[in-house]
Structure 1
């Protein structure tokens, strides 16, 4: 699995980050996301911390669920 972190500025003092499969052509159903971060650094640090946790789960052989699979609500 080839995961990637994406960080986006969504306006003044509003940052979003998600983790998705780099081969996924549509970024509408990530494995994880965080919204309303106050800084770009905060969004990136949160995403990198989650990416480390996900990597550990993948090493153990766990299945990663997408946000839509868990919540039923698209991002």
Structure 2
């Protein structure tokens, strides 16, 4: 699995980040996301910490669930 972090500016002092499969053609159902970060650096740092945790889970052989699978609510 090839995971990637995406950080998006959603307006003044509003940053969003998610983690998804780089080969996923539709980025609307990530494995993880965070919203309402105040800075780009905060969004990126938060996502990188989560990416490190997710990578460890994959090494152990755990399956990653997508946000929609867990919550039933699209991102």
Same structural fold, with TM-score higher than 0.5 when normalized by the shorter chain: yes
SS at match of 2:52: helix
- Cα RMSD of the aligned pairs, angstroms, is 0.2
The total of aligned residue pairs comes to 75
Name 2:44's counterpart in structure 1. Answer: 44
Name 1:21's counterpart in structure 2. Answer: 21
Name 1:69's counterpart in structure 2. Answer: 69
Task: Please give the TM-score of this superposition, normalised by the length of structure 1.
Answer: 1.00
Q: Quick one: distance in 2 between partners of 1:25 and 1:62?
A: 23
Task: Please give the TM-score of this superposition, normalised by the length of structure 2.
Answer: 1.00
Q: Which runs of 4+ in 1 moved over 6 A?
A: none
Q: CA deviation at 1:35?
A: 0.1
Q: CA deviation at 1:28?
A: 0.3
Q: Structure 2 stretches of 5 or more lacking a match?
A: none
Q: CA deviation at 1:72?
A: 0.1
Q: Quick one: distance in 1 between partners of 2:30 and 2:70?
A: 11
Q: Quick one: distance in 2 between partners of 1:2 and 1:72?
A: 24
